Structure formats: structure tokens, C-alpha cells
Amino acid sequence: MTTVTETHEDAHEHGMSDAGYVKIAIILALITGLEVSTYYVDFGPLFMPSLIIMMVVKFVMVVSYFMHLKFDSKIFSFLFYVGLGLALFVYITALATFKFFIA
Amino acid sequence: MADIATHDIDHATDNATDHATGHGHHSSTGLSNNKLAMWLFLGSECLLFGGLISTYMLYRGRVQNGPHPSQIYDIPFTSVSSFVLLMSSLTMVLAVSSAQRKDDTKTNLWLLITALLGATFIGGQVYEFTAFYREGLGFTTSLFGSSFYSLTGFHGVHVSIGVIMLLSLMGIIKKGKITGDKAEVVELIGLYWHFVDIVWIIIFTLVYLIPS
């Protein structure tokens, strides 16, 4: 009984149970399947936005649930997202300098 | 006065123990210093991969006399590789979960499966590189080739280092050489592993699925 309680408390403390992780993995696998389907099915003007959205959703799900950022201290989130934000700012600016976004 | 002295000695002993075990639970932030350092490292890794990804985005159309990306990419094959790496993130988080429950047997089992999935991904990448080279895309063939091999090669090196860390971790767990918080050590390596997975999530979409 003690073991069950401890296990439950551990899962609560660290965010999720093993079953929860499996559910997240199933959702990630389904999104990956949908991403691959864009190679075979014509999504028209939704092709690019849908791929970007699915990529961002997968990224956030792995970072939030598998890397526990959703449940951990906000300082960890700050350190990671500041690095990510800085990288996005620097490289989007660099790409814009090379007129990458102009068709 | 004697109480204060005793308290100071206890505090010093705690700090010494923390240094010895690598724990950061009594740090001024109240957080593990090791975990803080790992997140800082991963934040800085975003800049490294950001540079490689943007260089690829700039040069992916510069094929010179070499093959065009759409002529050589094998999307079904890369999709399977991506799926394998994605599932290795699940097995890694299950290893962390087992370590938190202090179940060494399951921790080692999930770590082994994660390492095997990582090695499978690397095997797939070696096969892909060989196939591309045979189709005429060398590292110096074109700017596309250089930027492609640099980006995916750097990622592959990260996965390979991850596999080595996983296997080493299994060894030190079996020998009982982790003196500190075992679950935290597994979690730190897990964070690195998940990071290489999220980088591949971006590479798979931007490099393989979105045509130049």
C-alpha cells in the first residue's frame, strides 16, 4: 500500500504517470503520421502552415511533458526559452538580411 | 554560542556532501545546480543548431552540378527513422520514471531500449549518407551538400554521444557507482536525449518535408 502511495505521489510530483507518457507518445506518433501524409496528399495553401503548426505542437509537447518543463521550476523554462528565443531572433534576422523571406 | 558553532559545522558538512555528490538541492536558488546547468547548456545548443539550420535554409537551393534535394530524399525511409527517434523519447522518459521509483532493473531495461533505438537511428543515417554519396552528393559537391551534411552530421554526432552516455549510465548503475541522486543523473541524460529528439522534429519538417 505504501509503495502504491509513494508511486502515485512520485508521479504527481514529477508530473505524469507512465500511462500518461504513453498517451503523449501516441499523440506524437499520430501527428508524425499526419506530417508524413502531407508528402502524399495535396494540402494546397495549408501545406506550409499545417507543417509548421504540427512541428511546433510536437516540439512543445516533448519539451513540456517528456522534459517536464510544464511541471518543473519556471527558472528552467526561462533558461531554455530565452536561448530558443534568442536563436530565433538572431537567425530570422540573419535570414531576412539575405532576403530569404522575399519570394 | 555552542549551538551556533554546531549549526555552522552541520551547514559546512551539508555543503561538503553536496559538492561530493554533485547535488544542488541546497543551492541559493533551491534548485539542483546540475539541472540548471543542463538547461543552460540546452538553451545554448539552440543557438548552435539555429545557425546550422538557417545556413541550410539559405543554401538548400544552391545545388551547382550536384543532385537536387527532391531527387535524393527518401521520405518514407526518413519518416521511419524519425518515428524510431520519437519513440526513443518515450522509452527515455519511462527510464526516468523507473529511476524515480528506484527500480534499477526497469531503468536499465528502458535505457538499453533507448540506446538501441538511438543506434538504429544512427544506422539509418549512415545508410542515408552512403546512398546520397553514391547518387553524387558529396560534402563538397555543392553548398546544399555541405550545409546538409553539416546539419544532419552534427545532429548524428549528438545522437551518438547520447547513445554512449546511455550505455555508460547503464554500466555505472549496474556497478552502483552513482553516489548521489540516481534519478537526477538519469533525468539529466534524459534531458539531453529529448533535446536531440526535438532538434530532429525541426530538421525533419524544415529539411525533409518542406521542399526548397
Single-letter amino acid, residue A62: V
Query: Which chain A residues have a beta carbon less than 8 Å from that of B58?
Result: 95, 98, 100
Which run of H or of E encompasses B204?
Answer: none
Give the tens place of pLDDT for each residue, A23-54.
999 999 999 999 999 999 988 899 999 999 99
Q: How far is B138 from chain A (nearest CA, A)?
A: 25
Coil/strand/helix, residue B31:
coil
Which run of H or of E encompasses A1?
Answer: none
User: Would the CB atoms of A83 and B89 count as touching at under 8 Å?
Assistant: no
> C-alpha grid cell for residue A33?
503520421
User: Which B residues in the span 85-104 are in contact with A, Cβ-Cβ below 8 Å?
Assistant: 86-87, 89-90, 92-94, 96-97, 100-101
SS3 content of chain A, % helix, strand, coil (to 5): 80, 0, 20
Q: Where are the domains of chain B?
A: 1-31, 38-209
Task: Report yes or no: B150 and B84 within 8 Å, Cβ to Cβ.
Answer: no
Look at the domain B38-209 and name its fold. Answer: Four Helix Bundle (Hemerythrin (Met), subunit A) (1.20.120)
**Disruptive mutation site among A79, A99, A101, A102 for chain B (greatest number of B CBs within 10 Å):** A79
Task: Return d(Cα A46, Cα A66) in angstroms, integer.
Answer: 29
ipTM: 0.85
> C-alpha grid cell for residue B165?
552516455
Give the tens place of pLDDT for each residue, B154-166.
999 999 999 999 9
Task: Report pLDDT for A68.
Answer: 92
> Which of A28, A63, A81, A23 lies closest to B46 in space, CA to CA?
A81
Task: Report yes or no: B109 and B44 within 8 Å, Cβ to Cβ.
Answer: no
- The structure's pTM equals 0.85
